[in-house]
Amino acid sequence: MTEVKVGVVGGTGYTGAELLRLLIVHPYAQIEVITSRSEAGRPVADLYPNLRGYIDIAYSEPDENILANCDIVFFATPHGVAQSLVPSLIAAGTRVIDISADFRIRDIALWEKWYGQEHACPELVHQAVYGLPELNREAIKRAQLVACPGCYPTSVLLGFLPLLEQQLVDTQHLIASCASGASGAGRQAKVDLLLSEVSDSFKAYGVSGHRHLPEIEQGLSDIIGSDAEAPLLTFVPHLLPMIRGIHSTLYARLLDSDVDLQALYEQRYRAEPFVDVLPAGVCPQTRSVRGTNLCRLSIHQPLERDMAVVTVVEDNLTKGASGQAIQNMNLMLGYDESTGLSAPPVLP
């Protein structure tokens, strides 16, 4: 296989650092440039000592010409940043994977409402392919611009997918109760994220509305088809007193309570390299996916009543962000989908 020249825009945050950790061991990825306006000139390993001895590049100011010379460019930036650089890269023929939220939501007005700013390149939004491989694998292979899903949406969409594809549940009363480790909030100084504030505590946030809700509902609509009534989801995120991991518990009322749900999920995900359906009665643990691109889930029908309960775990920085981005890169470039992503979870 031919090596691919990779550029990373925004390599100082947690998703950027995770992306670099994974790219370093990817057999075909050659990291050419890592940009950061705030850390330009500083060696990457100074900021992330875990990368010492693995990468000797210094951060640099974003340069469109240098980035356009890469085969593929990742954006691990806050929302609103990718919009300023992506148009020129697309025009130059460079393939782009955006890990931020800039190209996920196709309704421009809806994106602007939730993210509080004007979208700088709405003309590219409908060109972007939503990068959930289990749903859009063939389109991702052909894409020039991929919008990598958010961490919560990945867990919710994968959890509901088999039920919705088979039209087995009431789509007007879906519920997702999700919890994320503190790294999901990014690498920034906030009082609410201090160790003494997060440790030994558990709380909900964004109950009246969260930016991932319109992305999730758009994904649910894509699964059930445009002819069906738009799905309605009650989404409640929580902050877990840990660093990495997402645990989502999903609820859906069954239209047919006699379906073998375990067999349904096992069959749907049998060929998926990064979705593991656990045996009946076993619940997944966040520690079982730490540092990997795996999503583990289980399906339950408590007391054989008409409610399906799906429990899903993933690492928010890997399958929920940078690992999934590399999974998309592998598809786009014709590599085996699991290339560079096969290391087992870290325990303890």
Known catalytic residues are 151
218 Cβ partners below 8 Å, 6+ apart? Answer: 104, 105, 106, 107
d(CA 308, CA 305): 8
Exposed / middle / buried, residue 231 (Cβ in 10 Å: 0-12, 13-18, 19+): buried
Please work out, in degrees rounded to the nearest 5, the angle formed at the alpha carbon of residue 26 by the alpha carbons of 347 and 84: 105
Cα–Cα distance measured from residue 47 to residue 314, given in angstroms and rounded to the nearest whole number: 26
Q: Which residue, among 10, 1, 2, has the nearest Cα to 33 in the 3D structure?
A: 10
Decide: 153 and 212 in contact? Cβ < 8 Å.
Answer: yes
Q: CB neighbours of 310 closer than 8 A, spacing ≥ 6? A: 159, 160, 163, 248, 249, 250, 252, 297, 298, 299, 300
Nearest to 330 by CA among 342, 346, 320, 313: 342
According to DSSP, residue 34 is labeled E
- List phi, psi (to 5°) of 58: -100, 150
Contact 205, 237 (CB under 8 A): yes
Please answer whether residues 22 and 325 qualify as being in contact, where contact means their C-beta atoms are separated by less than 8 angstroms.
no
Determine how β-strand 203-204 pairs with β-strand 233-239: antiparallel
| Phi-psi group of 297: left, alpha or beta (phi > 0 → left; psi -120 to 50 → alpha; rest → beta) | beta
